[in-house]
Structure 1
Amino acid sequence: MSINDLMSYQDVVTYLHGKNRTKHLLFGNGFSMSYNSGIFSYNALSDFIEKIDDELLNQLFASLNTKNFELIMQQLDSFAEIAKIFSSDPDLVSKIEGASDKLKTSLIDAVKALHPEHVFTIPEEKCKHCFSFLQSYLENGGFVFSTNYDLLPYWVLLRNKSAVAIDGFGRDLENDGDEFIPDESREYSELRWGKYKDSQTVYYLHGALPFFDNGVDVIKETYTTQHYLLDNIKARMEKKEYPIFVTAGDGRQKLTHIMHNKYLSHCYDKLTCIEGSLVTFGFNFGEYDTHLIDAINKAAHYGKKSGGKLFSIYIGVYSDDGLHHIENIRSRFKCKVNIYNAKTLNIWGH
């Protein structure tokens, strides 16, 4: 069998509609590559770690056995403060701070190289076309899961103001009290995750660049009239605040990172209890994605007695090699596996 013998995306949609079954979406880097393969590539944001020409940083990544840049940045910040107190060697502090600055600068450069400059750079027609694709899941009771940490899906949903695209973030009234407060005098917090988590429909399984963990709350950075989103993200990083996202590592390392963050663990837990069918696009279930296969298998057993479980998964492939890969790992899934031709899905209206 070749990719040309597979069902089309429209075949998948038509079949699930006939079954009256809720469908959910899981997409990976292929979603962004289909927008522009010239600037988006697999693991582009994590690959920069391996390309940093700094002996100290390379030794640090190796000794901690992690590519979790958020952890490394925090370790460097803490180490620098400790060194100021306990070390009489000024060169040591300078060396640590220099490594920290180099890592931070490299990340910012990688982010900016990876993205369009801002949300309005995405052509209106492409933005609307992509939104229609995402909305077809959200408006019919489904959830959207992303393993990407780039800004494309965030921008598309923000620009089109979907009433059902809920990421769980909201603002709290800071000067709430017994007395009446007129609207113009009300003070609101930053966007904090949790206020709308019970009605959440969009889940970033590996985090996203606008999300920051301040130790108490998970905060979402926003676009402002003064600065574009990437500029605000850069400003936070310069204040030693770092985006939440799960970078390279095997499935176990990724799951460990996920379970130590309340936002990420909530998103993962939601994937483990979805019902109906799951459609994937631009996600190849590679050797480092075992944690997501485990989550899907949990969903296949969730509510088994009541019938409210995940019945099937529809995996999109782009090539015969991709088809053969999914055929080879089909037995790892505990629900019915169907494969469709991902080339028949035009997300961005090219």
Structure 2
Amino acid sequence: MAKDKSVKPIMTFQAALADAGEKPHLLLGNGFSIALKPDIFSYSSLFDECIKQKCISPQAMKVFKKFNTKDFEIVIRSLNDASRVLSAYKKDRSLNGQLIRDAKAIKETLVKLLSSKHPENPSQITEQQYLGCIKFLTTFGIIYTLNYDLLLYWVIMKALEADPHRYDDGFRNEEGEDYVVWYPERSERQNVYYLHGALHLFDAGAEIRKFTWNRTGINLMKQIKGQLEQNSFPLFVAEGTSKEKMTRVNHSAYLGRGVRSFAKIGGSLFVYGHSLAENDSHYLSLLAKNKVEKLFISIFDDGSSKQKNTNDTIRQRAEAIATARAQLKEGYPIEVYYYDATSAKVWG
């Protein structure tokens, strides 16, 4: 049977780079993490995992439903706030204690879920894997990630040992503290964006803090647990629809900076490890409006019919972006290409 000539061929990563021009940009999805640790990062949402493990009390689950949210932080804060209000109006120690216990249990659940879904420290990535990933990243100008795990951060820290000025996530030293701080007015050289936040970023109210391994020597889970105990939450957007995610993004100056940067890029953009899913359309829709001229999308093929269906869906979504661009910006088309994910050798 003759091949359908309307289906664009899949290029090698090297061929795609040759066609992309100088310093394309990069958008990473969960496939970046899965390529390194498929047993850890191939998972459903944290909330769905929580439902499966039955690790939240029936009463606390009603709070999630009442607020129509899957966001752990919203529920934890609401339970704590309710406890404080109740103590002012009514001396009901039994109910007040239940609220406090449920808030604490959800915090512990969050830590447990995150710790089971993440390598404990940077040494769990081999030297060869670090070098392979550093080589891959060096190809790109601005790096955007939709992942909230620490893998990209660990690789960048390793790369900065050889070239201290290669990457800039906008955070600056805070003397005498075991964290660094994001200063919007001093982030003009920023070229790494955690579009949905990350586990090592914390919203302290007046500032966004980044906790670093090399400043504390304390592993990820201990840092998260310590911050949660102080009612400081990791800044990451992990749950919900595209609209719900964008609402959260718009309430953060740090995340908002990432949106504005992504909305302005031009040239070529490589997407690695992302299915162009609807729940991230708040970013993907910007491709129809910004100045990107060439869009290169990774395709993973293991020969299964399930993966073929996934890849067909990716192609449909990519072509929809090109169609939207043609309608919104006549005369400024976006060309869509596909490259073999395996040929990128992201982890060496």
- TM-score, normalization by structure 1: 0.85
CA distance in 2, matches of 1:134, 1:149: 17
Give deviations 1:243-271, integer Å, cap 9, x for gaps.
Answer: 01112211111111100111111111111
Could you tell me which residue of structure 2 aligns to residue 27 of structure 1? 28
Superposition deviation, residue 275 in structure 1: 1.2
Bigger shift: 290-299 or 280-289?
290-299
CA distance in 2, matches of 1:37, 1:116: 12
Q: Could you tell me whether the CA contact under 8 Å between 2:34 and 2:42 is conserved in 1?
A: yes
- What is the letter of the counterpart of residue 98 of structure 1? R
Q: Could you tell me whether the CA contact under 8 Å between 1:313 and 1:336 is conserved in 2?
A: yes
- Are 2:218 and 1:227 aligned? yes
- What is the letter of the counterpart of residue 285 of structure 1? L
CA distance in 1, matches of 2:209, 2:123: 23
Q: For the structure 1 residues 131 and 209, does the alpha-carbon distance in structure 2 shift closer, same or farther, using more than 3 Å as the test? A: same
- What is the letter of the counterpart of residue 124 of structure 1? E
Superposition deviation, residue 225 in structure 1: 4.8
CA distance in 1, matches of 2:209, 2:130: 25
User: Any gaps of 5 or more consecutive residues in structure 1?
Assistant: 174-186, 300-308
Could you tell me which residue of structure 1 aligns to residue 336 of structure 2? 337
CA distance in 2, matches of 1:190, 1:231: 14
Superposition deviation, residue 43 in structure 1: 4.1
Q: Could you tell me whether the CA contact under 8 Å between 1:166 and 1:199 is conserved in 2?
A: yes
Could you tell me which residue of structure 1 aligns to residue 205 of structure 2? 215
Q: For the structure 1 residues 346 and 189, does the alpha-carbon distance in structure 2 shift closer, same or farther, using more than 3 Å as the test? A: closer
Work out which of the residue numbers 204, 207, 211 in structure 1 matches 2:194.
204
Superposition deviation, residue 167 in structure 1: 0.6
Work out which of the residue numbers 77, 90, 96 in structure 2 matches 1:74.
77
Could you tell me which residue of structure 2 aligns to residue 164 of structure 1? 166
| Secondary structure of residue in 2 paired with 1:272 | helix
Could you tell me which residue of structure 1 aligns to residue 330 of structure 2? none
CA distance in 1, matches of 2:216, 2:90: 44
Q: Could you tell me whether the CA contact under 8 Å between 1:149 and 1:208 is conserved in 2?
A: yes
| Paired positions, count | 320
Give deviations 1:170-207, integer Å, cap 9, x for gaps.
Answer: 1245xxxxxxxxxxxxx568411126421100000111
Superposition deviation, residue 317 in structure 1: 1.7
CA distance in 1, matches of 2:218, 2:39: 26
- Are 2:77 and 1:95 aligned? no
CA distance in 1, matches of 2:150, 2:31: 14
Work out which of the residue numbers 266, 278, 297 in structure 2 matches 1:275.
266
CA distance in 1, matches of 2:56, 2:228: 21
User: Any gaps of 5 or more consecutive residues in structure 2?
Assistant: 302-307, 326-333
Q: Could you tell me whether the CA contact under 8 Å between 2:199 and 2:235 is conserved in 1?
A: yes
Q: Could you tell me whether the CA contact under 8 Å between 2:294 and 2:337 is conserved in 1?
A: yes
- CA RMSD across the alignment: 2.1
Q: Could you tell me whether the CA contact under 8 Å between 1:170 and 1:191 is conserved in 2?
A: yes
Q: Could you tell me whether the CA contact under 8 Å between 1:48 and 1:106 is conserved in 2?
A: no
Work out which of the residue numbers 16, 29, 33 in structure 2 matches 1:12.
16
CA distance in 2, matches of 1:158, 1:25: 18
Could you tell me which residue of structure 2 aligns to residue 148 of structure 1? 147
Q: For the structure 1 residues 213 and 264, does the alpha-carbon distance in structure 2 shift closer, same or farther, using more than 3 Å as the test? A: same
CA distance in 1, matches of 2:48, 2:179: 31
- Are 2:233 and 1:242 aligned? yes
Matches within 5 A, 1:130-145: 130-137=133-140, 142-145=141-144
| Secondary structure of residue in 2 paired with 1:211 | strand
| Secondary structure of residue in 2 paired with 1:230 | helix
Work out which of the residue numbers 296, 305, 328 in structure 1 matches 2:316.
328
Could you tell me which residue of structure 2 aligns to residue 318 of structure 1? 300
Could you tell me which residue of structure 1 aligns to residue 118 of structure 2? 115
- TM-score, normalization by structure 2: 0.86
Q: Could you tell me whether the CA contact under 8 Å between 1:167 and 1:196 is conserved in 2?
A: no
CA distance in 2, matches of 1:172, 1:117: 25
Q: Could you tell me whether the CA contact under 8 Å between 1:46 and 1:247 is conserved in 2?
A: no
Q: Could you tell me whether the CA contact under 8 Å between 2:170 and 2:190 is conserved in 1?
A: yes
Give deviations 1:216-263, integer Å, cap 9, x for gaps.
Answer: 101111224552233222211111111011122111111111001111
Give deviations 1:12-48, integer Å, cap 9, x for gaps.
Answer: 11212xxx34300001110000001011114444433
- What is the letter of the counterpart of residue 142 of structure 2? F
